[in-house]
Amino acid sequence: MKVFVTGKLSQKAFDALQNFAQVDAYESDDPMPREQVEARLEGKDALVCILGDQVDAALFQKRPQLKLVANVAVGYDNINVADANEAGVLITNTPGVLDNATADLAFGLLLAAARRIVEADGFVRRGEWTGWKRELMLGAELNGKTLGIVGMGRIGKAVAKRARAFGLNIIYTRKCDDAKTDGELKKAFDAQRVSLQDLCKLSDFISINCPLRQETRHLIGKAEFALMQAHCVLVNTSRGAVIDEEAMIDALEQKKIASCGLDVFEREPLVPERLMALPNVVLAPHIGSATKETRAGMDELAVKGLLEAFSGKLPANAVNPDVWNKFAEKLKSKV
């Protein structure tokens, strides 16, 4: 079996993969140009890729022997799953292993934006600090306030866990309407499910934790910003396009909200000049899952799923399990 990897893997994951397959790996940590991915995929049965790699019908048509794509990320908006289903290609992702790292970063951004930590750091470094002042860098306190979590899945819950320790009340939105889960969330975090409109109106802080899908693209736009309170702090560690970036910048410039902590952007790695110019935003380069432990966990889970699939077992982290029979046929026909 032949596998192409578009980035680096932790040693343990790489060794496990090499014990099983002939591995060709891109030598750099930089994003790989699409034409090179296509070229290096020639004759490969599986692709291990990252979220910057676009996977779609054009790629499947060019490389019909491809049977599996292991995305080393929980978000798989870079992959056209309908195209994969059509082509009989099994897709896997890396859920669960990055919840804590991402929730930690969401909280880091929330605290940094609410307590103006990055602004304060620059102030000290520029030598502008002349002594303790009562009104210097006043920010917002978390205790007793309301955090709205948009998307109460695994990462949303990890954010909720941290929020309780900070004395925050929690309201949330979820895609699925399911009273049992709402009851469990009430019990675990005293969290209350609300509509998106109410969440925007009632929250002092908002954390975006839903995946990017067709129905969540620009979920937070002009209308939602108009409902938010002027002191609201918005944090996004999901995908940039869940928020209408233009509308967000307008809201920040017009002081419709207080500040933002952003790890993700609509057209990464492009960050609009207007956003860069604002002092009340904290910006990070999509590092939600960037801890050594989590990277290793993601790599290992991606490789585990791949090895299971090629050994005849449907992996638990398959995104499109319905394609399993087609995948198994492809595997048997040794195309």
Interface contacts to ligand DGY, rule CB under 6 A: 51, 73-75, 98, 288-289
CA 134 to centroid of chain Cα atoms: 38
Q: Which is nearer to ligand DGY, 204 or 300 (CB)?
A: 300
Give CA–CA dist 31/34, Å, rounded. 9
286 is catalytic: yes
Q: Which is nearer to ligand DGY, 54 or 192 (CB)?
A: 54
How would you classify residue 83: left for phi > 0, otherwise alpha for psi between -120 and 50, otherwise beta?
A: alpha
Q: Which is nearer to ligand DGY, 51 or 208 (CB)?
A: 51
Distance of closest approach, residue 274 Cβ to ligand DGY, in angstroms? 24
268 is catalytic: yes
3-state helix, strand, coil in the chain (%, to 5): 40, 15, 40
Distance of closest approach, residue 316 Cβ to ligand DGY, in angstroms? 17
Q: Which is nearer to ligand DGY, 88 or 240 (CB)?
A: 240
Pick from 100, 92, 229, 223: which is nearest to 161 by CA? 100
Q: Can you give the length of the chain in residues?
A: 335
Give CA–CA dist 62/44, Å, rounded. 12
User: Which of 193, 286, 295, 300 is flagged as catalytic?
Assistant: 286
Distance of closest approach, residue 115 Cβ to ligand DGY, in angstroms? 25
125 is catalytic: no
Distance of closest approach, residue 77 Cβ to ligand DGY, in angstroms? 8
Give CA–CA dist 247/220, Å, rounded. 9
User: Which of 239, 266, 295, 300 is flagged as catalytic?
Assistant: 239
Pick from 2, 15, 9, 81: which is nearest to 47 by CA? 2
Give me the active site residues, please: 239, 268, 286
